[in-house]
Amino acid sequence: MARRLDPVELLATSSVGKAIARSSVGRSVATRMGVPPADELRRGITRPVGKIALTEMGESDLVGATLSLLDIDPVLPIIDTPSARMPGENGRSVPPVYESRLGALVIDLSGLRSFSGTELLRGVLRPAMKGLERSGRVIFVAREPESYTDLEPRILAQGLDGLNRTVAKELRGGATSNLIWVKESTTPQALASTLKFLLEGRSAYVDGQSWRVGEAEVPLEAVRSTHPYHGRIVAVTGAARGIGAAIAHTFARDGAIVVCIDMPTSGESLAKVANEIHGTALQLDITVADAGERIAAHVAGRYGEDARLYGIVHNAGITRDRMLANLDEKAWAAVIEVNLMAQLRINEALLDGRPGGLADGGSIVGISSTSGIAGNKGQANYALTKAAIVGLVRAQAPVLGERGITINAVGPGFIETDMTNAIPYLQRVVFSRSNSLSQGGKPVDVAETIAYLADPASAAVSGQVVRVCGQALVGQ
Ligand SMILES: NC(=O)c1ccc[n+]([C@@H]2O[C@H](COP(=O)([O-])OP(=O)(O)OC[C@H]3O[C@@H](n4cnc5c(N)ncnc54)[C@H](O)[C@@H]3O)[C@@H](O)[C@H]2O)c1
């Protein structure tokens, strides 16, 4: 059950209250009451403030070479060793600190094979825990556990997941920690889009997560492109508002021609979004039997018979929340239709090679949810469909990989939209702060993660579910 919030906490979590809590008087009251104001997160295409440090453990130069592809010249981090500690006022030694605060600490663990080697890891992490700039980054890159046949490196690679999640929980000031597992065959070009995303403000609300980068041929131009979707057509369902509208805007910023799809009843706001980004609007209830055919026909009709979709983002989703004891047939069916079955039918039609369908080498992104991953009281129907999306991307990634198509999903946590505005106030306050960043995410945070996953430079990322939840306390 949700714990009761005292009035100051309530004040500090509303938007007006947050403004008060950020003021000097408000901050001191809030701090005395134990309610820290949420940190302003660094967002957008922004590199970390401060230097980027790189530690390499082992012979691999994967991360160093990837950073140099991104024109980043890293510095060496300070390592905490007993001899490097300064005596503190009380005679106890204190860990070393960086001369200036770091923007990011990137740790290449692809050569780490034994637990005895983790002492160096501790030594590098310890000074970083208080030595990062606001919205700083810790990024671990390690070989995926399955790539080892020996027991110790294999379980060590898995253990890094717990370390990463703990670092994420201990960091302050909007800083995040994430872990990327790679294959032995992963190249710097295949890894570059992920490292770039994690360093930039685009990943502001992705925290404590781990996912995998595999292998793919990624041209250098794709890695370096500032408009990766230039000339590519991307369809977004549920684009009239909320997360969908943010996705449409983000793809357009990155050069895409966006087909904005939503219910005929949302026609006006849909047209507004499409006009703002010079895309086209398609009024369509995605649950109609021929929705996929109609999307393809729209693409071929507007952009020519030879035109193909580069990507589709299945964002449209609904909730019909009731405890199972009260959940009727209609609410059950509606959620399964919109959140899952429509998506399956659309994919099938778009993948059959028809004009206006999905091109080989393209990308599909779906939206799961922390509710699906962790389960949530009153959301049995919703959780069923959102966990099924995880199953969908995992099952389809190897099949679609044969056509060079990637399929991934994001798992948003608490994102401030009309959908979450419908949650009763007290619950909303508790949900929005129950994560390591102590705040709700913005639609743009989800949009940026989707744009990263669908990026042609992310061809080596498929079958992944990336949670965008500020490391929500619920779920994995
Ligand atoms: N907001 C959150 O915190 C959150 C968290 C986890 C997952 N999600 C998921 O993110 C997605 C977007 O969520 P949101 O908060 O922006 O929701 P929203 O309700 O604000 O917007 C959803 C959009 O989808 C459209 N839509 C619904 N049914 C449709 C249909 N049959 N055909 C065409 N369009 C349809 C709606 O008209 C609306 O414009 C959903 O899949 C949702 O489940 C949201």
Domains of the chain by residue range: 1-37, 51-81+99-213, 226-468
Separation of alpha carbons 203 and 208, rounded Å: 11
Q: How confident is the model at residue 123 (pLDDT cuts 50, 70, 90)?
A: very high
**Better pLDDT: 23 or 398:** 398
Predicted confidence band at 36 (pLDDT cuts at 50, 70, 90)? low
At 421 the pLDDT is 86
> Encoding tokens for residue 1?
């059950």
Residue whose CA is closest, atom 41 of ligand 1?
317
Q: What is the Å distance from ligand 1's center to 316 Cα?
A: 4
Which residue, chain included where needed, has tokens 């009727």? Answer: 328
CA distance linking residue 124 with residue 114, whole number of Å: 16
For domain 51-81+99-213, the CATH class is alpha beta
* Model confidence at 5: pLDDT above 60: no
Kindly indicate the confidence band of residue 476, based on its pLDDT and cuts at 50, 70 and 90. Answer: low
Is the Cβ atom of 238 under 6 angstroms away from ligand 1? yes
Amino acid at site 360: D
Atom of ligand 1 nearest to the CA of 242: 16
CA pair distance 367, 386, nearest whole angstrom:
7
Which atom of ligand 1 lies closest to the CA of 291? 32
- Which comes out higher in pLDDT, residue 3 or 299? 299
Mutate to test the pocket of ligand 1, among 287, 417, 467 (most ligand atoms within 8 A of CB): 417
Question: How far apart, in Å, are the Cα atoms of 335 and each of 113, 316, 465?
Answer: 46, 11, 21
Ligand 1 centre distance from Cα of residue 62 (Å): 39
Ligand 1 touching residue 283 (CB < 6 A): no
pLDDT-derived band at 31 (thresholds 50, 70, 90) equals very low
441 lines ligand 1 (CB under 6 A): no
The confidence score (pLDDT) of residue 80 equals 86
Return left, alpha or beta for 300; rule: phi > 0 is left, psi -120 to 50 is alpha, else beta: alpha
State the pLDDT at residue 427: 85
Lowest model confidence (mean pLDDT) among 76-90, 175-189, 422-436: 76-90
Q: What per-residue confidence (pLDDT) applies to 179? A: 98
- Identity of the highest mean pLDDT range in 18-27, 73-82, 96-105, 267-276: 267-276
Query: Residue holding tokens 């500020």?
Result: 470
Mean pLDDT of 87-97: 77
For domain 226-468, give the fold: Rossmann fold (3.40.50)
Residue 343 CB less than 6 A away from ligand 1: no
Contact 285 CB / ligand 1 (< 6 Å): yes
Whether the per-residue pLDDT at 20 is higher than 70: the answer is no
Q: Give the active site residues.
A: 382
Kindly state the average pLDDT of the residues 11-19.
44
- Say if ligand 1 is within 6 A of residue 316 CB: yes
Question: Which pLDDT value is given to residue 248?
Answer: 98
Contacts of 374 (CB under 8 A, 6+ apart): 472, 474, 475, 476
Task: Give the closest residue (by CA) to ligand 1 atom 42.
Answer: 317
pLDDT, greater one: 430 or 90: 430
- Please report the pLDDT score of residue 23 as a whole number: 45
Centre of ligand 1 from the C-alpha of residue 418, in Å: 9
Q: How far is the CA of 255 from the centre of ligand 1 (A)?
A: 24
Instruction: Tell me if 247 CB under 6 Å of ligand 1.
Output: no
Q: Is the pLDDT of residue 74 over 70?
A: yes
The reply to whether 226-468 shares the fold of 51-81+99-213 is yes
Q: Is residue 78 in contact with ligand 1, taking CB distance under 6 Å?
A: no
Query: Which ligand 1 atom lies nearest to the CA of residue 243?
Result: 16
pTM for the full predicted model: 0.93
Residue 337 CA: which ligand 1 atom is closest?
31
* pLDDT average, residue stretch 262-284: 98
Distance from the alpha carbon of residue 243 to the mean position of ligand 1, in angstroms: 7
